[in-house]
A and B are shown apart, each in its own frame.
Chain A
Amino acid sequence: MNTLMTGNEAIARGAYEYGISIAAAYPGTPSTEILENIAKYPEVYSQWSPNEKVAAEVAVGAAIAGARSLVAMKMVGVNVAADPLFTAAYTGTRAGLVLISADDPGMHSSQNEQDNRYYAAFAKIPLLEPSDSQECKDMVGLALAISEEFDTPVMLRITTRVAHSQSMVELKDPGERPLKAYEKDARKYVMLPAHGRARRLVVAEREKKLAEYAESVSVNRMEMSDPAIGIITAGISYQYVKEGAPGASILKLGLTNPLPEQLIRDFAAKVGRLYVVEELEPYMENQIRAMGIEVTGKELFPPYGELSARLVREKLTGDPGPAVDAPFEAPIRPPVMCPGCPHRPVFYTLKQLKLVVSGDIGCYTLGTAAPLEAMDTCICMGASVSGALGMEKAHPELAEKMVAVIGDSTFMHSGVTGLMDIVYNGGNTTVMILDNSITAMTGHQENPATGKTLMGQPAPKVDFVALVKALGVKRVSEVDPFELEELKQVIKTEVAAKEPSVIITRRPCALIIKNTEKPLEVHDCTGCKMCLKLGCPALSFDEANKTAVVDAALCTGCGVCMEVCKFNALRKAGEA
């Protein structure tokens, strides 16, 4: 049977068909749907972990124990998981282990554009790059076969266009889910220095064998056509080459670490001018040049952003294709906090109080945009908390006009250790945990505080109050962010306190609750526009009649604008 699938769905299908028993991840665009779809196959145990390092360690442990395992993450997640990855590359694994890295050229939903192919080379593990959904599924199987034959973790690297594009996939019946017996082998799995030095030599030997294997593996193949132009490519770039340079000869590489040197030499000898077409860094190009082969790549193609068929055509033939008119000028439509979002009153208050806000990653990062504009920094998961301590150490007076703001899921991901650091090292910073009872930005995933697992089982809930008290925080407040005045007073008090404090704002994400509130109405508006400072998509202003307007179809009746309005012009429908 054939069906249309995204790359992420196809990887999940591959996990099911090729005998994966254990899968773990922390959600992150564009990787999230891999685990969401694996969870639809109850034969595979799947779980959300609190962060990528934990998820990777779960998968490494499962593979060492003898079960085929998979761990998936967005590319910045590999930074978090790099520690277990680099050493698992030495130990190897008893059963197959696949790490999915979902890179994001063009930064559609990421804070940087790192090219994780270098991680595979750095960790000395094989790297596979699929270019459509069928290859995504097939390469899960190939990754497991390589992993087990060469005793190594394997990285399967996708990009946003592969992860989120649908193409045809042939479905097959699942094979068996093998489980090897566990045996103790401390020389292989206890990486103290003496064992590590021995394993390092094994890794060097493995690299030689993999280099030989890369020469003949079927995913590395020539597609000979016009010999005047030869293009070496991989991943989604292959599709752009096929379309943008239809007559060219192609060396399509599916296994890109290690590169097949002899195959590349043979291809180079067959063609006139040799190009490398690859998104982001000159990863293949630099290695090919180091082989002494003349090649053109990044002189033509940018080392940032996404490529396209049009760009390939233009750069290789000089013909950009049809002329394109200048676009009309349209005001931007940025993503915004939803109507009824519990984050909105928090950022409105932080702006009013003119506080420095050390920010973090989640829906609340949208607090950066106008009109809220209440975020000073956002670096990576968890950096709000530890970064605030650094700011305070640099400028001690900042402690009394600064907060760190972090979501519930992000706090568990990597905020806890930062808070421990604040307590331990005598910081005074106030940390706000915005608890909306879900991992919202990536599409509402369960987490250790929601009381439910990925597979739908009930689970204990992390108790944030007990947790932060156990770290040594004495001042812990809980507040409903819709109680605007109370929220403001609590923030003022805690920011002024000369010891660490935590404020937990509690309100579920507006998209996960069944709303029963009626929309608001406008009566006798004075036209002061205070309510517009909330940046609520349900509120606008009628300049002709000098009155605020509520879009009843969007308004959730959360009532935050009622609290902001000094003239009682915004009222619940039916109330005087």
Chain B
Amino acid sequence: MSGVTNILLVGVGGQGTILASKILCYAALDQGYQVKMSEIHGMAQRGGSVVTQVRMGDQVFSPVIDPGEADMIVAFEQLEAYRWTHFLKPGGVLIVNDQKIVPLPVLIGAAAYPGSVLADLEQKVSRFVALPALNLATEAGNSKSTNVVLMGALARFMNFPQEVWQKALEEKIPAKLLEVNRRAFEAGYNWQA
């Protein structure tokens, strides 16, 4: 549907995709968009694949993004980027945290972690950004701010004013962690290969 922006946040249970989606939704609502957000929780929280879907526009009906219809995908982990890339529209933006979290079938030797994830993705997706979000978060002062680094990286591709993002961080992040997260957001926003 025209006029609706579709954003997928994909990662591993425990990586903070939900907080990231709250920041994103807050910013979108502040910009006057209708917003719907969908996530499946339950068993997958125990270290499984997680996906949060955010849709914003003048009028949004389905809360779910179909394959081939995401304008942007923010992947919190390499393999999850690999798993979800076919949801991207032609010309869509793929932002990948270059962190690897090895799934159990690989840990126990029953499967192999693909060797060329970033190279394959770069070849396939023209608007492709890979960034060391975990390192950037650690440098900013807290490795748990990886999710906010990635929201900073996403913000470059969205037309929201800076102050909206700052307001979203203030609203959604506890005061004592705000400064670290402001730095994390900035690190993601300013990151260049």
Which A residues are closer than 8 A to B by beta carbons?
A: 4, 29-30, 108-109, 132, 160-161, 164-168, 239-240, 242-244, 246, 306, 308-310, 321-338, 363, 366, 369-371, 441-443, 529, 532-533, 535, 537, 539-541
B41-65 contact mask (Cβ, 8 Å, vs A): 1 or 0:
1111111110000000000111110
CB neighbours of A330 from chain B (8 A)? 79, 82-83, 114
- What are 7 A-B pairs at a CB distance below 8 A? A4-B35, A109-B42, A161-B38, A167-B60, A324-B67, A333-B80, A441-B43
Which B residues are closer than 8 A to A by beta carbons?
A: 1, 12-13, 25, 29, 34-49, 60-64, 66-69, 79-80, 82-86, 89-90, 102-114, 120, 124
Q: Please give the distance in Å from B134's CB to the nearest CB on chain A.
A: 10
CB neighbours of B48 from chain A (8 A)? 333-336
**Residue among A326, A330, A442, A539 with the most chain B CB within 10 A?**
A330
Q: Which residue of A lies closest to B25 (CB)?
A: A4
Q: Please give the distance in Å from A10's CB to the nearest CB on chain B.
A: 13
Let me know if B36 and A167 touch, CB within 8 A: yes
Q: Which residue of B lies closest to A313 (CB)?
A: B66
Q: How far is it, in angstroms, between the C-alpha of A327 and the C-alpha of B13 when the chains are bound?
A: 21
CB neighbours of B47 from chain A (8 A)? 333, 335-336, 338, 537
CB neighbours of B61 from chain A (8 A)? 239-240, 242-243, 309
Let me know if B36 and A108 touch, CB within 8 A: no
Q: How far is it, in angstroms, between the C-alpha of A334 and the C-alpha of B50 when the chains are bound?
A: 10
CB neighbours of A29 from chain B (8 A)? 41-43
CB neighbours of B41 from chain A (8 A)? 29, 164, 443
With A239-B62, A324-B86 as contacts: A4 and B37 at CB distance below 8 Å: yes
CB neighbours of B80 from chain A (8 A)? 333
Let me know if B64 and A161 touch, CB within 8 A: yes
CB neighbours of B103 from chain A (8 A)? 331-334
Residue among B35, B40, B66, B106 making CB contact with A331, cutoff 8 Å: B106
Let me know if A328 and B82 touch, CB within 8 A: yes
CB neighbours of A332 from chain B (8 A)? 49, 103, 105, 111
Let me know if A327 and B108 touch, CB within 8 A: no
CB neighbours of A324 from chain B (8 A)? 67-68, 86
Let me know if B104 and A334 touch, CB within 8 A: yes
CB neighbours of B105 from chain A (8 A)? 331-332, 334, 370
CB neighbours of B40 from chain A (8 A)? 108-109, 160, 164
Q: How far is it, in angstroms, between the C-alpha of A465 and the C-alpha of B185 when the chains are bound?
A: 53
Let me know if A540 and B102 touch, CB within 8 A: yes
Apart from A109-B40, A370-B105: 18 A-B pairs, beta carbons within 8 A: A108-B40, A109-B43, A132-B63, A161-B38, A161-B64, A165-B39, A239-B62, A324-B68, A325-B85, A325-B124, A331-B114, A332-B103, A333-B79, A333-B103, A333-B104, A338-B47, A441-B42, A540-B107
Q: Which residue of B lies closest to A529 (CB)?
A: B109
Q: Please give the distance in Å from B76's CB to the nearest CB on chain A.
A: 12
Q: How far is it, in angstroms, between the C-alpha of A52 and the C-alpha of B144 when the chains are bound?
A: 38
With A309-B66, A310-B67, A336-B104 as contacts: A328 and B46 at CB distance below 8 Å: no
Q: How far is it, in angstroms, between the C-alpha of A574 and the C-alpha of B25 when the chains are bound?
A: 46
Q: Please give the distance in Å from A278's CB to the nearest CB on chain B.
A: 15
Let me know if B29 and A535 touch, CB within 8 A: no
Q: How far is it, in angstroms, between the C-alpha of A445 and the C-alpha of B41 when the chains are bound?
A: 15
Q: Please give the distance in Å from A539's CB to the nearest CB on chain B.
A: 7
Residue among A244, A363, A371 making CB contact with B108, cutoff 8 Å: A371
Q: Which 9 A-B pairs have the closest CB atoms?
A: A109-B42, A335-B48, A165-B63, A331-B111, A335-B46, A29-B42, A333-B103, A310-B66, A324-B68
Let me know if B68 and A370 touch, CB within 8 A: no
CB neighbours of A441 from chain B (8 A)? 42-43
With A161-B64, A239-B63, A333-B49 as contacts: A537 and B104 at CB distance below 8 Å: yes
Let me know if A333 and B12 touch, CB within 8 A: yes
Let me know if A363 and B46 touch, CB within 8 A: yes
Q: Which residue of B lies closest to A168 (CB)?
A: B34
Q: Which residue of A lies closest to B102 (CB)?
A: A540
CB neighbours of A165 from chain B (8 A)? 36-39, 63-64
Q: Please give the distance in Å from B27's CB to the nearest CB on chain A.
A: 12
With A165-B38, A333-B12, A370-B110 as contacts: A327 and B85 at CB distance below 8 Å: yes
CB neighbours of A329 from chain B (8 A)? 114
CB neighbours of B43 from chain A (8 A)? 29, 108-109, 335, 366, 441
Q: Which residue of B lies closest to A108 (CB)?
A: B40
CB neighbours of A132 from chain B (8 A)? 36, 63
Q: Which residue of B lies closest to A237 (CB)?
A: B62
Q: How far is it, in angstroms, between the C-alpha of A336 and the C-alpha of B106 when the chains are bound?
A: 13
Q: How far is it, in angstroms, between the C-alpha of A382 and the C-alpha of B68 when the chains are bound?
A: 42
Let me know if A322 and B46 touch, CB within 8 A: no
With A168-B34, A370-B110 as contacts: A308 and B25 at CB distance below 8 Å: no
Let me know if A335 and B66 touch, CB within 8 A: no
CB neighbours of A246 from chain B (8 A)? 1
CB neighbours of B44 from chain A (8 A)? 108-109, 335
Q: Please give the distance in Å from B50's CB to the nearest CB on chain A.
A: 9
CB neighbours of B82 from chain A (8 A)? 328, 330
Q: Which residue of A lies closest to B39 (CB)?
A: A164
With A331-B105, A539-B107 as contacts: A240 and B39 at CB distance below 8 Å: no
Q: Please give the distance in Å from A84's CB to the nearest CB on chain B.
A: 26
CB neighbours of A540 from chain B (8 A)? 102, 107
Q: How far is it, in angstroms, between the C-alpha of A135 and the C-alpha of B124 when the chains are bound?
A: 41
CB neighbours of B35 from chain A (8 A)? 4, 166-168
Q: How far is it, in angstroms, between the C-alpha of A326 and the C-alpha of B83 when the chains are bound?
A: 10
Let me know if A327 and B83 touch, CB within 8 A: yes
CB neighbours of B109 from chain A (8 A)? 529, 532, 541
CB neighbours of B84 from chain A (8 A)? 327
Let me know if B83 and A164 touch, CB within 8 A: no
CB neighbours of A308 from chain B (8 A)? 62, 64, 66
CB neighbours of A333 from chain B (8 A)? 12, 47-49, 79-80, 83, 103-104
CB neighbours of A369 from chain B (8 A)? 104
Q: Which residue of B lies closest to A246 (CB)?
A: B1
Q: How far is it, in angstroms, between the C-alpha of A244 and the C-alpha of B63 when the chains are bound?
A: 13
CB neighbours of B37 from chain A (8 A)? 4, 165-167
Residue among A30, A244, A322 making CB contact with B89, cutoff 8 Å: A322
CB neighbours of B112 from chain A (8 A)? 331
Q: How far is it, in angstroms, between the C-alpha of A239 and the C-alpha of B38 when the chains are bound?
A: 13
